[in-house]
């Protein structure tokens, strides 16, 4: 076990692959591996790529990895695929999705199963990210299944989340209102060379401002900076009319070039000054992943968000929230296993069900009886 970890820390990709396999399969001793890795984590920038199916996530991730390599950075990619209902493995795990990086050992690609997680990100994925981080990868990209509004689990793993939306996708944009809109640090209208891209960009800008100006967002109508429980971006203070406090839908942080050109159009969002500090307005950028247009601006935006997180202390806040969520999740898993063992020791669930059906007891009493020993254990000497 110690030799395997040492080989991973020494930069041996075979050891990295073996560790991630043990983590994904939850093989005996995998927890010891993750424990040893933890002290060596905290250096990689973790980027989540999510969005609706068909938005071009895999193509964009491929181009991102190639560009990062051109810049001298090492890359780890975890592509979450749907789980097989029969084997639990990744249904699309054998597909070739990193064509631009085949043969480059400094781009480590791994396809993993969602393992039934609605958000497509299982505990095994989080642990695999730690392995890539400890290995020394500069960038770790996690591409999710693309199952729609359930993609929110990526927030628990990534520092920056990019949400991809294809153009002319009215249904996809409407879907964002159902939940995924809240998680995006950057919104990407991919395939921006197709008709409808400009309309999709406008709809996204409007939705972002409506979200952050609403009472439900807790921003108090752009009253100041702040974060939610996950250390996410602050209120959208980007764009105020000179005469009042009404958000200006036309306000943008303008980049070079002329509007309407993919990747070179005026960009909405970024870091803005608000009363009491800074806030992050999720930018909307355009890309054509197949040709690489807009990629530089997209990566620059990711870098800007990282700088914002570091400068404002949000990065540490996100890490604390992430570890708190991970501890709670592990406690729930361990407690469930303890309860399953206690049930088996008492004759199994069927015996309790028989008594409940016979009206000799009730579900609440059964729960109290099973949990009782666990509840009382801390009080014993």
Delineate the domains of the chain, giving CATH numbers in brackets.
Answer: 39-314 (3.40.50.300), 327-379 (no CATH)
**Which segments of the chain are extended strands (E)?**
45-51, 75-81, 107-113, 139-143, 160-165, 186-189, 268-274, 277-286
Q: Is 249 exposed, middle or buried (0-12, 13-18, 19+ CB in 10 A)?
A: middle
Say what the pLDDT of residue 100 is.
56
Say what the pLDDT of residue 196 is.
87
Say what the pLDDT of residue 244 is.
42
- Decide: 270 and 238 in contact? Cβ < 8 Å: yes
The pair phi, psi for residue 247, each rounded to 5°, is -60, 135
Say what the pLDDT of residue 249 is.
38
- Decide: 180 and 148 in contact? Cβ < 8 Å: yes
Say what the pLDDT of residue 177 is.
58
- Decide: 49 and 180 in contact? Cβ < 8 Å: no
What are the pLDDT tens digits along the chain (381 aa)?
Answer: 689 999 999 999 999 999 999 999 889 999 999 999 999 999 999 999 988 778 889 999 999 999 999 999 999 999 987 644 334 444 444 344 455 555 567 899 998 875 544 444 568 889 999 999 999 999 999 998 765 444 567 788 899 999 998 887 556 566 665 567 778 899 999 999 988 888 888 888 888 887 766 544 544 333 333 444 344 554 333 333 444 443 443 344 433 333 334 433 335 678 888 888 889 999 999 999 999 999 999 999 999 999 999 999 999 999 999 999 899 989 998 999 989 998 998 889 999 999 999 999 999 999 998 888 777 665 544
Eight-class DSSP state of 112? E
The verdict on pTM exceeding 0.75 is: yes
- Decide: 298 and 186 in contact? Cβ < 8 Å: yes
């Amino acid at each position: 076990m110690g030799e395997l970890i040492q080989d991973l820390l020494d930069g041996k990709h075979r050891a990295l692959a073996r560790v991630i396999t043990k983590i994904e399969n939850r093989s005996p001793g995998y927890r010891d591996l993750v424990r040893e890795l933890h002290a060596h984590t905290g250096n990689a920038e973790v980027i989540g790529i999510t969005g609706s199916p068909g938005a071009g996530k895999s193509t964009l991730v491929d181009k991102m990895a190639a560009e990062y390599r051109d810049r001298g950075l090492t890359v780890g990619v975890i592509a979450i695929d749907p789980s097989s209902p029969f084997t639990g493995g990744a249904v699309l795990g054998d597909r070739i999705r990193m064509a631009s990086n085949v043969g480059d050992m400094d781009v480590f690609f791994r396809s993993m199963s969602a393992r039934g997680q609605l958000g497509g990100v299982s505990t095994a994925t989080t642990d695999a990210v730690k392995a890539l981080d400890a290995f020394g990868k500069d960038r770790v990209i996690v591409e999710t299944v693309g199952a729609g509004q359930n993609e929110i689990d990526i927030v628990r793993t990534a520092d920056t989340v990019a949400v991809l939306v294809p153009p002319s996708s009215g249904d996809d944009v409407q879907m964002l209102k159902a939940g995924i809109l809240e998680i995006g640090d950057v919104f990407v209208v991919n395939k921006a060379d197709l008709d409808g891209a400009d309309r999709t960009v406008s709809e996204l800008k409007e939705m972002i401002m409506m979200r952050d100006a609403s009472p439900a967002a807790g921003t108090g109508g752009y009253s100041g900076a702040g974060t939610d429980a996950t250390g996410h971006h602050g209120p959208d203070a980007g764009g105020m009319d000179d005469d009042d406090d009404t958000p200006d839908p036309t306000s943008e942080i303008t980049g070079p070039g002329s509007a309407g050109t993919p990747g070179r159009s005026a960009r909405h969002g970024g870091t803005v000054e608000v009363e009491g500090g800074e806030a992050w307005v999720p930018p909307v950028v355009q890309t054509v992943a197949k040709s690489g247009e807009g990629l530089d601006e997209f990566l620059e935006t990711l870098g800007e968000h990282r700088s914002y997180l570091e400068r404002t202390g949000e990065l540490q806040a996100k890490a604390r929230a992430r570890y708190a969520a991970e501890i709670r999740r592990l406690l729930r898993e361990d407690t469930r296993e303890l309860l399953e063992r206690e049930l088996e020791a008492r004759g199994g669930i069927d015996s309790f069900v028989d008594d409940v059906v016979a009206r000799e007891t009730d579900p609440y009493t059964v729960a109290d009886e099973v949990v009782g020993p666990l509840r009382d254990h801390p009080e014993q000497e």
